A and B are shown apart, each in its own frame.
Chain A
Amino acid sequence: MKRIFSILATAAIMAACSSNNCPLENFVACNYGFYDEEGKAVTILDTITVKTLLPGNKTVYTYRKLGAMTVTKEVVDSSLINAGYTMKPEVVRRDTILLNRLSKASTFKLPMSYFNGEDTLVISYSSIALPDTIKITHDSYPYVELPECGSYRFHYITNVQTTDRHIDHIEISNPKVNYDGNENIKIYLNGIAE
């Protein structure tokens, strides 16, 4: 009887304990990995910045003056005009920086859009003047594991395209984008690692 009581007491104490069972790593992101032409994982020595295009347009003002550096701003700057600069307004796609000056990395992760069918990423390199552009077509769907953990937006990649300035080619390694941290896209860079 004493033994039964102790077992029941232990069970009651265990049942009284509660914990949060939500995943610790809950950032939904598309994971990219760098490889050389032959498929060997590499670490890039270059510094890269990744921008993405946003829906809608914006007006950009470019200020030029002979013998001075060109200045680009998103607002009208009358002080530059008074200083002798010429202003040229231009309508361009809105964008935002997702990854700023990443260096010496073999992987990186970026979020994906919730409601757009296609994400456009512009990858700029410090050593090459022209950027590469990657287009990722995907489906997005809501996901909830436990009510206490909130809702997420998962994605399923259906297609990828890229320019070939620094990138040799690109392929989907795992189309399911969630918070598991698995690699989703392989980026094969030009050249062979030594």
Chain B
Amino acid sequence: MRISRFTSTVLRNKAVALIATSLLSVNALGQTITGETTEGKVTITDSTVVVNGENKPTKWVPSWEEEEPPLMFFQGFTLSFDILGAGMRAMSSNGSLEAALRLNLKNTYFPIAELGVANCNKTDDNTNIHYVTSAPYFRIGFDYNVLKDKRQDNRLFVGARYGISTFNYDVQGPKQIDPIWGGEHDFALNGINCTSQWLEICFGCQVKVWSSFHMGWSIRYKSELSSSNSDNSKPYYIPGYGTTTTGSCWGGTYNLIFDLNWGKKKKSATAVQVQSENQ
């Protein structure tokens, strides 16, 4: 029987105990221990360690001890808040308040749900047409950590989102005047209902600032899938998507990120320590 990679720290501890009790044969005097590891046949005496007939330093540790245990599948949750949208909401005609809950699977895959409320209150300087909307939106998708070292706290993401928003909007403007037949009429379209769907492709990063607190940003390319247009207008601004002047647009977020490591276990004792305890 050979010892290969361990699937978790718990399994590793069990395996070390197994080596100590069954795989390694200890003679009656307790002077020599032999067994098999991934390095080959190991013989340990009071003063020497021999691996496949080669003397090793007495503090040599088999490779199974040097290998880091694989990451657990579930690494916890991440809660984040977008401060870019909040800043735009405070300083411009449109913006959003957005929070996201992200699952951390092996520090590699991050299923994510984003929920927010966005508003637009814009008057065009040239036409005096006023557009108002305020509504919630929802996105769901995933991020993938492209960094090779998945154990570090900094992450570089690519990802995708599907977004949807159902909202009402108002459009008001100057009176419409018939230049030929004459007459004029107020121009006001109120409470137009619309449902829009879109896709996003994301690129972003996050870095550890302190303990479980991270900061990060993302840029997003958004493509509108569909919008339920009324006979009277098209939505100028879709909450969560942005302005609809073309069929696609760019967006971004700047996030405050908090790791909520619920269910993530701390590092276990090393194999050597367990072995010494067993002895």
Contact = CB atoms under 8 A, between A and B. Distances in A.
Interface of A: 8, 11, 14-15, 21, 52, 54-55, 96, 98, 111, 113-116, 119, 141-151, 153-154
Nearest to A153: B176
29 contacts: A8-B219, A11-B219, A21-B245, A21-B246, A54-B181, A55-B181, A96-B180, A98-B180, A114-B176, A114-B177, A114-B181, A116-B181, A142-B176, A142-B232, A143-B231, A143-B232, A143-B233, A144-B171, A144-B173, A144-B189, A144-B232, A146-B236, A147-B122, A147-B129, A147-B130, A148-B126, A148-B127, A151-B187, A153-B176
Given A11-B250, A143-B233, A144-B233, A115 B127 contact: no
Given A54-B180, A115-B178, A146-B234, 9 more contacts: A52-B180, A114-B177, A141-B232, A144-B129, A144-B233, A146-B236, A146-B244, A151-B129, A151-B187
A113 B183 CA distance: 9
Nearest to A116: B181
A153 B177 CA distance: 10
A54 B180 CA distance: 8
Nearest to B186: A142
Given A148-B126, A151-B173, A142 B189 contact: yes
Contacts of B123: 147
A61 B219 CA distance: 73
A11 B250 CA distance: 9
A146 B245 contact: yes
B124 interface: yes
A11 to B, nearest CB: 7
Given A11-B219, A21-B245, A55-B182, A147 B131 contact: yes
